[in-house]
Amino acid sequence: MLEFILKSTYDLKTLPHSCQLWLRFSCTMGKLTLVPSMKNTNSKVFFYVSHMCISQSASEIRKLQVLPWSFGSS
């Protein structure tokens, strides 16, 4: 199982709310599963719409590589 957590910041202009987006990947015999979830981290109420589109499929996975990814500048 692999989890990615994206956290919003106060200087983010596109989503001015404090939230976390969790993406959980799991791979079992012949099945790759992605489970997204959104968590509100403050008391402000907001609504969001989620849309996922499967763009590729694979019948056999031979190699899985996770590369470091940076969001924004530090």
pLDDT for the residue 74? 41
Name the residue among 54, 65, 57, 2 with its Cα closest to residue 30: 57
All structural domains of the chain with their residue ranges: 1-74
* Distance from C-alpha of 52 to C-alpha of 69, rounded to nearest angstrom: 21
CA atoms within 13 A on the CB side of 53: 1
- What are the pLDDT digits (tens) for 11-65? 555 555 677 778 888 877 777 788 888 888 777 777 777 666 666 566 666 666 6
* Distance from C-alpha of 64 to C-alpha of 30, rounded to nearest angstrom: 14
pTM summary value: 0.46
